[in-house]
Structure 1
Amino acid sequence: MSDLLYTQEEEALRAAVRDLLDDHCEPASVLARSESDAPHDRELWKALTEGMGLAGLLVPEEHDGQGASHREAALVLEELGRAVAPVPFLTSAVIATETLLICEGGAAAELLGGLASGRTIGALAVGFATAPGGAFTRVRHENGALHGQLTGIADASVADVLLVPADGGLYAVDTSQDGVTVTPQTSLDRTRPLATVTFEAARARVLVDDAERADLAVRLGLRAGAGLLASEQLGLAEWCLTETVRYTKERNQFNRPVGSFQALKHRLAQLWLETVGVRAAARHAADALATGSGEPNLAAALAQAYAAPVAVHAAEEALQLHGGIGMTWEHPVHLYLKRAKSDAIALGTAGRHREELAALVDLQAP
């Protein structure tokens, strides 16, 4: 059985990423970006990719990547979740990259190199609410061009290239060309915006020309996203717990810290137990994806079935226990609540993952 504890190298990576986020991702700046028309932090993305090479963690060295594993990518997502960082790491460096890894040929290799450098941002053109085993919409491919419309595509507004499933295969489409229109949708979480993408005779490069293999590539990308999303939810829950404990120690009522009240102690203790459980599930999913052992499908479903409700609970408790200040727009807790609520729907709901989990272990679904 693999050791799920953090290695020294992983702790060093965590410290480096956290230091960078402390310098570039203060809550006030994230809040300001979420209210603007350009929520993505390009400067932070450049620092994470060109400065630290994090976009290429899952890319093999022969494609100019780091040749690391899902464990390292999960660690980065923990810290990004802790900071609610408005960067497309999950969509580009995890989901799009994992989808491309099963593709063969020069077009896929070229794209992998671009994604690894961070100079190219990719997104899988599948609705962000789609579970790894769920149905997804395909567009029409005709005479080398794509026609159709896809909705709920995460980070499409910042993507340079879209990986688009169409009848008969998987295709790469540059978003800057004529025939591709990206229309922002109203999103609860402005730090990870959604968009509708319309293709009108958009030129496409073939990545996979076999429908079955294309379907497999998409599902592997979604599986990696679902499994590692639990690490983002872990970082989010830990921030909520840590900040709430700190605040309840400082906030006085009846001449004593509110954190000394037994009722609040019990609520925070319960939240700590739930967060520890998320850590175990998230680490297990990352390790199963990294090693290919321990049934990655089962590990990803288990992680999402447990992590999503806990992240929402942590954010709700943080908002309530911060009292009046937690309800203000200036306090960052609402950013975490929105991210937690959005993540709970992303890549399949907890209920959907419970159904998949039940099928995998031959139990009746709840």
Structure 2
Amino acid sequence: MSRLDSRDVTLVEAVNMALEWEMAHDESVVVLGEDIATNGGVFRATAGLKDRFGFKRVMDTPLAENLIAGTAIGMATQGLKPVAEFQFMGFIYAGMEQIISHAARMRNRTRGRLHCPLVYRAPFGGGIHAPEHHSESTEALFTHIPGLRVVIPSSPQRAYGQLLAAIRNPDPVIFLEPKRIYRAVTQSVENNGEAIPLDTCFTLREGSDVTLISWGASIMETLEAADVLAEQGISAEVIDVCTISPLDRETLLCSVTKTGRAVIVHEACRNGGVGAEIAASIAEGAWLELKAPVARVTGYDTVMPYYRNEQAYLPQVDDILEAAKRVIAL
């Protein structure tokens, strides 16, 4: 693809485009992870990068997530901008000691002398008939850690622009890619190196009766539910949270103040989920404008089931419709 080429791409192809662009324009950017060089990663997100940039910048690592996380920190403090891939989010836990105790604290610990400009990428979420450790949505674990940004793109355009922004950020970013939509949709993406701002929500659809709030792959069902509601005379506003930490509370409160109702949709467990933090923020900031309690449509407080029960676990369009109609009826 030429430097300013524009074509329809999938989300995983957009990730590849962003990595290639930034590596071509910033020699300090390196990528590392299990099978990401020769094989191009389990989902082929890094396909072709080793051929173009060589093994010194595109590095296969041992099967050792703690090593991957720690090596990236060392690189980041010494002038590089590493993008480290965990094959699946369910494998990231072995590296959490490094991420939480060191990457997130480096700027504070050194009083600004050292920065930690790195990105930890991981495919996450269910929907591809994979085992439990390959299908988890535990993004809330990282939102509690000061010093980390947590970004979840929901489209190819967002993946391209926000991965560029994440790589250019001076602090560590957890970049979670919803693999259920890796190849489910295509969008026209201009390969121009333009970043999309982090730390902001995006209004995907204007509405006046209810605000539907979601992120990642669940945006697909949320938009579909908004279409069905429109056919029934209900105007739904759809917000893509995108950066779940730090939260853009201003955009969320502005929308809910207008509609008076909110439904939050995410496939992660309900208990302690990001939806609870959003609901609390709405209750604190828009209490007088609320016409009904905030509703949540979420996964269950169980381990992600195997593929036969996967769809029963994931929030469906009908679940969102039921919740929206319930808050509108109050």
Please confirm whether the aligned pair reaches a TM-score higher than 0.5, indicating the same fold.
no
Name whichever structure is richer in strand by fraction: 2
- Give the TM-score normalised by structure 2: 0.29
- Give the TM-score normalised by structure 1: 0.27
